[in-house]
Structure 1
Amino acid sequence: MKKMTIGFSIILVMTILLSACNLPRGTTTPTSDANYVFTAAALTVQAKINENTPIPALPTMIPPEIETLEIPPTNVAPTDTPIPTLAPTATPTSLPCDLAKFIDDVTVPDDTSYTPGATFTKTWRIKNEGSCTWTTSYSLVFDSGTSMGGPASKALSGNVAPGQTVDISVDLKAPDTASTYKGNWKLRNGSGVIFGIGTENKAFWVQIKVNVPTPQLFAVTSASFTINPSSYNGTCPTEITLSGKIRVSRAGDVIYTFRREDGYVSSPITISFSDGSEKNLSDFKMSMGSGPGYSWTGKIWLRIDEPNHQDFGATSFSITCP
């Protein structure tokens, strides 16, 4: 079929050419010569051929492989490049109006010992960490525990600006019974709002121990005396003078007597003490010798009848009555 089409096209072109040659010539100048006609005919035939001739596929171009060059590593010492430090951006926070921080126990550390009824002053050091100034309308207030004779509240003595510290004191008294006692305290602002330490409003406290001392026994701790004269030779009967002193451990009454080896015992004598101290005894006159021809040598001493039941200061004495 393809060959027939080509043949037909050739015949058609030849017919046109022959007809052109046999046409009558005019007087006017032709617009084209025989070469033009042959060229047009050739182009027409070529177009017909091309209509039914498949276009061969062009070969696909494969891009050349690019060889990768490996660059050998070089030993270059790393350099420390300082990284700029960005200053932290302050984030504004809202401080509470009333906020306290405990700093120190200025006086009376925890578990300080006191005797029953002893008075003392407790002082805390507190810092104002809030945004409001503590004025004299602010107070120390008892919160819980044992008040130990303290007031229900006590006004601050001056203003405390934010960031400042203040020493807050209160006078207290130890209870009468032996035990451990703790009293909790807080602060109160001018509007009556109570606050404590930190955002949790914890109390600050005083804690003591009350110890009842073991009673000291009442006793004579020392006693002494002298005899005047230290010996006697003369007319009898006569008197000798005994002078002495007694020291005791605490307040109380002492009963004493003077005694001799011959069995003599004076009447009991009482002396009172208001505290643990020493006192001089009143001079005691002791009769000696029954008459002419009396002679005696022996010891004289001071006897504590109460409270010790003890002898003190045995001293030798001699008397002769011509």
Structure 2
Amino acid sequence: MKKKFTAAARSYAPKVFLMLTLTALVLAACSYPGRRPAPDNLSQEDRVNTAAAKTVAAIATGIAAGQNPTLVGPSSTTFTPTPPQATETPRPAAAATKTNTPAAAGEGPCNRASFITDTTIPDGSTILPNSVFTKTWALKNVGSCPWTTGYVLVFAGRGTAMSGAASTPIITSGEVKPGDTVQASVSLRAPDEPGDYEGYWMLRSADNKIFGTGSSSATPFYVKIHVANEYSFAEHMCSAKWSSNDGDLPCPGKEGDSKGYVMAAKDPQMEDDKEREGRGLLTMPKPAGGGWIVGKFPAVIVPDHPDFRATVSCHPDDSGCFIRFKVTYQVDNGDEQVLGEWNEGSDGNVT
């Protein structure tokens, strides 16, 4: 299953430490300490969230297949995969998209494709071992012959096949006319060992002719994934799109940027005076009332029943800190859903 996770935090302090691991949106907001609402003025909802936050403190964040949320020591969180029980992700029904520039019949080679984009699983996507996923390419018919139901995806014999079928039809009905674009999908399974993997694919016509992209129709298209037992937000910090209420932000940011910034924090010392081994995020919203910072990460394939773990702390030097941390997620193209929401303040403890 493909899930997009978003995590969000709102603070009333200049700097916030986050130690996270998964696909997320990290949001922090701040104003100067003098504008921080006093804890006594918290709404009942905020009080409930604050109390809940004290019960879910963790050292690092992560997804652990088949594990229950627990407190962990000062070490990186890992996924502990269960025996493979993945079910095949349904292959989207392919449909040709018409364009305004079809090739005239009889002009150029009969079979030729043009790669348009990776519809799913962008290059470098992190996937857990043995996870089943669907890779989809948008391919345009730039030849002179229509692609029928007899046209299939085939492994090009280069890289890793990732348990892909010997042949997979690109459409189940109709045809892809010259000039049209099709969403061609194949069901794959990630290898069981962590590492970087790639697999190259081509098309085969109804009369068994292999072809691909490029001027000679001989260039394959590919899938490239990173298989890992954990997904760290901090390690993938700059794969996210960061912004504040003052516009887009660079990654990594530069300390002192008036628009806000995000930076990596190695072995950060949090407000409980304990140093967390590993890499965290240091977020700084625009230094104004209602300022916020957002980092939206790409989708990650996760197993069923994963755990998300995070440690949130105000900067040790910020005595006027107050933050709200919110985690939301999205499954495929469904609605965004709230996973959790908590408050954290400068009280000598972490959330």
- Smaller-chain TM-score range? 0.3 to 0.5
Q: TM-score, normalised by structure 2?
A: 0.34
> Larger Rg: 1 or 2?
1
Q: Which has the higher helix share?
A: 1
